[in-house]
Structure 1
Amino acid sequence: MNEADSSSTSSSRMIILNEKYQKTFDRMRKRLASSIEIRNKKRQEYHKFMTFGYRKWSALAMGKDISEPRHSPEDEIRLKQEYVAARNKVYGARQELKKFTEKHGLEFQEPKADSD
């Protein structure tokens, strides 16, 4: 097979979306990427807060005195709810993008920034 044949074969395999679908596809990818970024920030914030709480509980168990009570159960609940909401948003955006790619004969690829 010469180069001309291989280039025509590869171009015939490539699926081209019309402008409307391409804009939709790009918007969905951006939404997924931004949702992943927000989820990662919320997860990091929640885990830092929990780490502080575990250190506080550990210090109290050893009999040390804690002067600043910065760890409140209300904040813990709020941070966990924010993280779970962000995680669910990523899941929904990912599923929506997967359905779109399957519907239009595209191959779904996970974003590289996703650590899950």
Structure 2
Amino acid sequence: MPEPAAGFCELALSRPPVLVVLRGLSREQIVDLTQGARDLGVHLVQVPVHSREWLAALEQLAARTSDRGGVQVGAGTVTTRTRAREAVAAGAAGAAARGGPLGVGGWTSRPGR
């Protein structure tokens, strides 16, 4: 199995280059729209950490891993290491940040995925 970040990039380059960013939505909306994105052939979804119920949405999506059908769900706009750890622990494929406090090159991935 490829490394998570490598898998994310491989998936991103093998399908239409569309990333759905689900900002400011409820958990139910995030879960429903992720399913809708998958049904439309979009396989990259980002849930910004400042969205309402972002953590609950990531946890629910992770619990439905078998239903995701190849959808990679990551956390976005991650501004602290704590938020990155929370996102990955909740089931995000990784966490994206605009440089700064994470001390990583913009993407940190979940070990073992």
TM over 0.5, shorter chain: no
Give the strand-richer structure, 1 or 2: 2
Structure 1 length-normalised TM: 0.22
Task: Tell which has more relative contact order, 1 or 2 (C-alpha 8 A, sep 6+).
Answer: 1
Give the helix-richer structure, 1 or 2: 1
Structure 2 length-normalised TM: 0.22
